[in-house]
Amino acid sequence: MRMVFRWYGEGNDTVTLKQIRQIPGVEGIVWALHDLPPGEVWPLERILELKRQAEAYGLHIEVVESVNVHEDIKLGLPSREKYIENYKRTIANLGQAGVKVICYNFMPVFDWIRTDLFKELEDGSTALFYESAKVDGMDPMELVRLIAENPEFTMPGWEPERLSRLTELFEAYRGVTEEHLWENLRYFLEQIIPVAEANGIRMAIHPDDPPWPVFGLPRLMHNRDHLARLLSLVDSPANGITLCSGALGASRDNDVAAMVREFADRIPFAHIRNVRVYDNGDFIETSHRARDGSVDICDVVKAYHENGFTGYARPDHGRHIWDEKCRPGYGLYDRALGIMYLWGIWDSLEREKRRREETAAC
């Protein structure tokens, strides 16, 4: 397991590269050029400049999240050809800079949805919260207002350019079925996977967050069967999964550890976080500790270990603790604590493996 840490760039993050470098076992950053709108080519010089920044602190840039997919590609419009060509050029530029994994998603309009960015937990910390009934009766424009309350940060998936076109986008998706979206995803992958292969890059799709349809929009990556279908669209090691235990774990129907065991060889990137799921469908993000949420993080990490996982992993969203002022879900402190919890599980499994090998040798 190769530990990495998400960083939003100088001037757009309260966390510094110096701080990231001091978290034990972290070897690289997960990054993006967040100021570029979906569909634009990422210039090589911009990529190399960020690489120089990271390498000055002994960190690599081998994992990118997210190279967002333009809505015209998801919608299957004729204009998608231009944006797919731009995506190919971005893949080539990233490959030239040494990038190995690109995390992306295929969710229409919204990449992720929460109803409260700072919901208080029992211990006084706060975390991202999803209230199911509120979403069911919500005007999507309320999400725009929610984000507008936090203008100091770019929120990937909720970029101002995209949100300014919300009414237009909802109208464009009217009549687009789940099968239409699957076909558009297949077409996209058939175009880009050969380019990814040629550049030594593995594409890794992120599951829907939350893992069910919202606002009447079709969504594809909910469960085990959807992940299997995704992998069958283009059968290549370069067509993979960002397996997010928090996104998938928001549904009690999903056995995240079982998915790790089944798809291990097609998971180049792991998001490991926990959520507490309530009987009414609400959920809140918690500490990474298994007993604090509904996802058995110990078994998830064990599943990766059993399969000799050598891919990249990052502690996904954390709580906001110790009065830290930070981007919702992306404080330094709780994610650093999460890393040490994950390493504790991993190191215990490594020790047990060595003991078994020593006993067998005798």
Write the DSSP symbol of residue 298. Answer: H
72, 330, 334, 341: the catalytic one is 330
Known catalytic residue at 244: yes
Active site residue 330: yes
* Sheet-wide strand order for 283-285: 116-120, 126-130, 283-285, 275-277
Whole-angstrom distance, CA of residue 156 vs CA of residue 196: 23
Active-site residue, selected from the candidate residues 271, 288, 305, 320 = 271
Angle at 346 (CA atoms; ends 342, 352), nearest 5 degrees: 150
Cβ-based neighbours of 271, under 8 Å, separated by 6 or more: 206, 242, 243, 244, 245, 246, 247, 313, 314, 316
Which among 88, 130, 160 has a CA at the least distance from the CA of 281? 130
CA 183 to CA 189: how far, in whole Å?
10
Cis? peptide before 125, omega within 30° of 0: no
Does the annotation mark 139 as catalytic? no
The active-site residue out of 70, 226, 317, 320 is 317
> Which listed residue (70, 103, 111, 206) is catalytic?
206
Catalytic site includes residue 180: no
Q: Where are the beta strands (DSSP E) in 84-231?
A: 101-104, 116-120, 126-130, 202-205
Q: Which residues contact 112 (CB under 8 A, 6 or more apart)?
A: 157, 209, 247
226 is a catalytic site residue: no
Q: Nearest to residue 141, comparing CAs of 118, 119, 109? A: 109
Residues 178, 155, 334, CA angle at the centre, nearest 5°? Answer: 105
In whole angstroms, what is the distance from residue 91 CA to residue 309 CA? 24
Catalytic residue flag (residue 298): no
Give the Cα separation of 256 and 234 in Å (integer).
Answer: 23
Q: What are the catalytic residues? A: 206, 244, 271, 316-317, 330
